[in-house]
Each structure stands twice: as C-alpha cells, then as structure tokens.
Amino acid sequence: MRKLSVLVFALALATVACSGGGATGRKNDIAGPGSTSPTASGSAAASPSLSASPSAKATSKLPKPVGDGSRPGSTYRPPTGFPIPNLFTTAENTIGITKNTITLCTHAALSLAAVFRVNAADLNAYWEYVNNELGGVYGRKVVMTYADDNYGNNPGDVRTAYEECKGRNPFILLGGIGFDQIPQMRTFAEQGHDLYIHHIAREDFSKKYSFSYLPSVETAGRIAGQWVVKRHAGQVIGVVYRDSENWEPGHRTFKAELAKRGVTPVADLAVQKNSTVYSTQISTLKKRNAKVVFLWENALSAIEIIRQAKNQGFTPTWLIFPFNLITDTLKSAMTSPPVEGIAMWPAYRPGDTGGTYSPYADEIRFFERVHAKYASGKTDDVTWMTWLGWRQLHRLLLDCGPNCTRNRIVGLLQSGVHKPVFAGCNFDFTRNRHVGGFAVNIFEAYQSGSNAFWKNIEVCKTHF
C-alpha cells in the first residue's frame, strides 16, 4: 500500500496546473473534437451525466479560451514579438529538437506503475494522438521518454534518473510529483544547463533553468490557511504535517495565515515519512476537540490517518491533497463530514460529464476517446492529470513556433504571452520568472451510491 501512494504522487506529471481542454482543430491545432462549444463565460454547455453527480456553484469562472488554437477548424498562429533571452548557448539551444522530432524526458516513479495499473501507453496517449492525428507539432513527431526516480526512496535514485534522461538529450526535462525529488533534480538541471519544467515544489528562484506552471508549496499552504479560516470560522483547528525540509514551507505558510487572523491550532503534530501508525496524533487531536484538521501528507498517509481516526471515533473535517485513490478506498468514510481537498487540477470522475464536471465535459469526452483508442481505456485522475499536463505542454510547443528553441520557450514563459489552455487557471511567470501558478481548486467529497467522489466547490482561487 505504501508504494501505491507513492505512485499516485509520482505519475501526475510535470505541467498540469489547473489546466484543461480546448476544442477541435486541424493539423497543429491545440485540441480535439469538442462536441459542445464554450459559452460566453468560458464553460462548456451542460450535457447529460452518465451517472449521478452533484451540482457545484463555483465562485470563480474559468478563463475563456485563448487564441485560434482553441477554435475548431483553425490553423494555429503562434504569438510573436516577445523578447528572447540568451540563457542557453548556441550549442545548448536546440538540443533535442530536429527537423523531424522533439525529444522529451520525464522522471517519475515508473517502477511502481504496475501497482497502479498504469503503463507507458496510458501516459503517452496524448502524444500518440498528436503524432498520428495532427502530424506532430509543426511536422515534428514528439518522442516522450521516461526515467524512473523511484520516488527518491534510495540515495542516488534521482541522480540515476537524471543521468538516464540526460543521456537521451531531451529538449525539455520534465518532473513528476515529488516534493523531495524535484529540488534534487533542479540542482542537477542547473549544473547541466537543462531546461527543466517541474511539478509543485518549494520555491527556489535562484535556479535559472527551472520552471513550473503550478503554485509553489508555499502558495498552496498559504491558500489552504485562508480557506480553512474562511470556511470553518470559529472552529477548532488542528494540523498534522510531514516532517521534511521540502514539505515544511507549506506547513509554515499555512500557520502564518492562521496567525494573521488570530487563530492558533490546538495541535501542530509532525509525522515521519513512511509512518504507519498515527494513534498518538489522533488521540491528541481528539482530546483537544479539533473539528478541522489540515493534513499535509501524501495520499496513503491520508488514507491511513483518516481510517485510523474513524476507528478511534474521531471524525473531523479533513483538508488533504484530493486523489481518487482516497475516495475509492475510504468510500462513505469520506463524507461524514465531507473531506475537503486543495488541488491543482479540476475534479474527475470516469465517464461523468454532468454536474460539477460539465464546465469541461468536452475535454473529458476528448480525453476518454483518445485513451480508448491509443491506450488501455482505463482512466482515473492520475491519467487525467497527466493528460492535462501534456495539453499545456503542447500549447507551449505550439506557441514556440516552427523555429522553436529553448531560449524561445523561456522567453514565452517569462514574457507572459503564453496562456493556459481552456479550463486552465491563469498563470503569470512575470511575477518571479520561474513559477507561474498562483491558483488552486477546492474539492469536497460526496457520496453516490456506496462510493465517494470529488466535486469542485471553488475554482481557480488565488486567495480567500
């Protein structure tokens, strides 16, 4: 079970940042076969649900589609006129991109993929679509490769993954989820002058070659703190957090937001990586009558803590990282009271396009059609998040244009002209030039039959 949790956090790959879909297009368009058109508010027209799902009224609207690439039947026109830096030398600038191919390499915990029944075809379904149905990107086929970082469980795991990727001469190095692996990989990318786009991690703006679409660990903790105080005003708050230097910044900013509002947690309890028994922490929270608990840990730890707490008769409102693995495992235990989640992606329930999922129903249909054609057809939030990340990366490559280079990629990001795909939260690399994400979605668990699922209750929020 420990490995299962690790995989969930490792396979939601590099560029997903509350990002979503577009609409259909000819060769080199960004998107797929959209059967409904975006409304004026940026939401797709509602469609019948394949299974019962709740309605959800979001307080923030998703951005409208941006650019010709999100419109059916149009030829994509990349932006022009943005400044191009000289970060990479002439020799470094076009590594991994040729007349015919674009080579990319992603590090993730691939050794655990079989445990979660995810294979290379599932991860590569989007690029199969791009290569086979769009002819690649400006005629270049995308060659996506992977290297196993084993979630950094052993010394040298991340270095081994880096060397494996480096040996393939990728145009862009990409990083899957891993608060602890990404800082290590950023150091290697800095030393090797590699263009590195990674998942959520702690801030380190001194690294010139690293970029992320996602909010930093610090931002996630800050917004979580604001949410808890707003949603649960006057309630007793407790905290359980991973004792790790790479997780600590989010824990620190969460508590700082509470302190600004005169709130002090009744318990602030550390847990160690790979812990399996949490009776001491649960007992303390229960004795101090915590009604809301911020659980700053990974998916399996959340499952074990919530399960063990329920067995001890302790059922607060939990705020966690919301993965389908958790609702699939705990089912009705997730809904009394409803567990809440802070996420960098929109909620997904396989086969459902109604209710809370209707604003991006067209993207769900597109995603599931492509996975049925090019992969196993099994979809869950891990493949959904991976898909959304590749959609945003595709937009970046299209924006870079036919004469794409590493310096042009950096120029696009730092100039602010590169935009999110439809249903994506806005990002702004002009703030610090390396981290562009500042928005999150808030989920809530709901029950349908004997199972539990996630719904969106807040969309693209930068503060509360």
Where is average pLDDT lowest: 74-83, 86-95, 243-252, 403-412?
A: 74-83
Determine the pLDDT at residue 14: 45
Tell me how far apart the alpha carbons of residues 272 and 294 are, in angstroms, rounded to a whole number. 16
**Residue 145 near residue 172 (C-beta atoms within 8 A):** no
Report whether 464 contacts 223 (CB < 8 A).
yes
Same domain, 199 and 252: no
Tokens of 352: 């459902």
3-state secondary structure 336-348: CCECEEEECCCCC
Q: Is residue 100 part of a domain?
A: yes
Is residue 298 in a domain? Answer: yes
Q: What is the CATH number of the domain that holds 267?
A: 3.40.50.2300
Looking at per-residue pLDDT, the higher value among 115 and 118 belongs to 118
By mean pLDDT, which of 63-67, 310-314, 351-355, 448-452 is the weakest? 63-67
Q: Are residues 211 and 229 in the same domain?
A: no
* Structure confidence by residue, pLDDT tens digits, 96-112: 999 999 999 999 877 76
Residue with tokens 């469609």: 47
CA-nearest of 120, 88, 107, 87 to 167 is 107
pLDDT at 89: 98
Do residue 163 and residue 299 come from a single domain?
no
Task: Name which of 35-44, 77-86, 239-248, 298-307 the model is least confident about.
Answer: 35-44
List the one residue out of 167, 166, 212, 216 whose CA is nearest residue 191. 166
Residue with the bigger pLDDT between 165 and 23: it is 165
* Strand 172-175 relative to strand 141-148, pairing: unpaired
Position 413 scores a pLDDT of: 96
- DSSP letters of 198-216? E-S----TT-TTEEBSSPP
Quick one: what percent of the chain has pLDDT higher than 70? Answer: 82
Q: Where are the alpha helices (DSSP H) in 235-380?
A: 248-260, 279-287, 299-311, 324-330, 361-374
Structural domain includes residue 108: yes
C-beta of residue 301 within 8 angstroms of C-beta of residue 179:
no
**Same-domain pairing of 221 and 211:** no
Instruction: Give the model's confidence band at 116: pLDDT under 50 very low, under 70 low, under 90 confident, else very high.
Output: low
Tokens of 105: 């390499």
pLDDT of residue 461: 97
Domain membership flag for residue 238: yes
Average pLDDT of the chain is 85
Q: Would the pLDDT of 145 be above 70?
A: yes
> What confidence score (pLDDT) does residue 345 get?
93
185 and 118 in a common domain: yes
- pLDDT given at position 422: 67
Q: Which two tokens stand for residue 424?
A: 């994506």
Same domain assignment for residues 176 and 318: no
Q: Which domain, by its residues, includes 146?
A: 2-215+351-433
- Judge whether residue 78 has pLDDT over 50: yes
Residues 408, 268 share a domain? no
Q: What pLDDT, on a 0 to 100 scale, did the predictor assign at position 85?
A: 97
Mean pLDDT of 262-283: 96
In a domain, 63, yes or no: yes
- Split at pLDDT 50, 70, 90, the class of 421 is confident
* Judgement on whether residues 279 and 414 belong to the same structural domain of the protein: no
Write down the pLDDT at residue 420.
86
Tell whether the model's pLDDT for residue 194 goes beyond 70. Answer: yes
In this prediction, residue 274 has a pLDDT band, given cuts at 50, 70 and 90, of confident
Euclidean distance between CA atoms 114 and 194, whole angstroms = 29
CA-wise closest residue to 417 among 398, 435, 393, 399 = 399
Q: What percent of the chain has pLDDT over 90?
A: 73
The yes-or-no verdict on residue 406 having pLDDT over 60 is yes
Tell me what pLDDT residue 66 has: 39
- Of 56-70, 256-270, 405-419, 432-446, minimum mean pLDDT range: 56-70
Q: Which of 75-79, 207-211, 226-230, 427-431 has the lowest mean pLDDT?
A: 75-79
Is 438 within the bounds of a domain?
A: no
Confidence check: pLDDT of 60 > 90: no
- Look at residue 407 and tell me whether its pLDDT is greater than 80: yes
Half-sphere exposure of 324 (CA within 13 A, CB side): 15
Residues 146 and 262 in one domain: no
Give me the pLDDT at residue 64, please.
42
Q: Classify residue 174: in a domain, yes or no.
A: yes
Task: Give CA–CA dist 389/393, Å, rounded.
Answer: 6
Burial of 42 (0-12, 13-18, 19+ CB in 10 A): middle
* Statement: residue 423 has pLDDT above 80: no
Domain total of the chain: 2
Query: Does the structure show a pLDDT above 90 at 62?
Result: no
Q: Are residues 285 and 370 in the same domain?
A: no
pLDDT of residue 163: 98
User: Is 296 inside any structural domain?
Assistant: yes
pLDDT (mean) for 324-328: 95
Taking the C-alpha atoms of residue 320 and residue 328, their distance in angstroms, rounded to an integer, is 15
Q: Are residues 247 and 355 in the same domain?
A: no
Looking at the structure, tell me whether residues 456 and 376 fall in a common domain: no
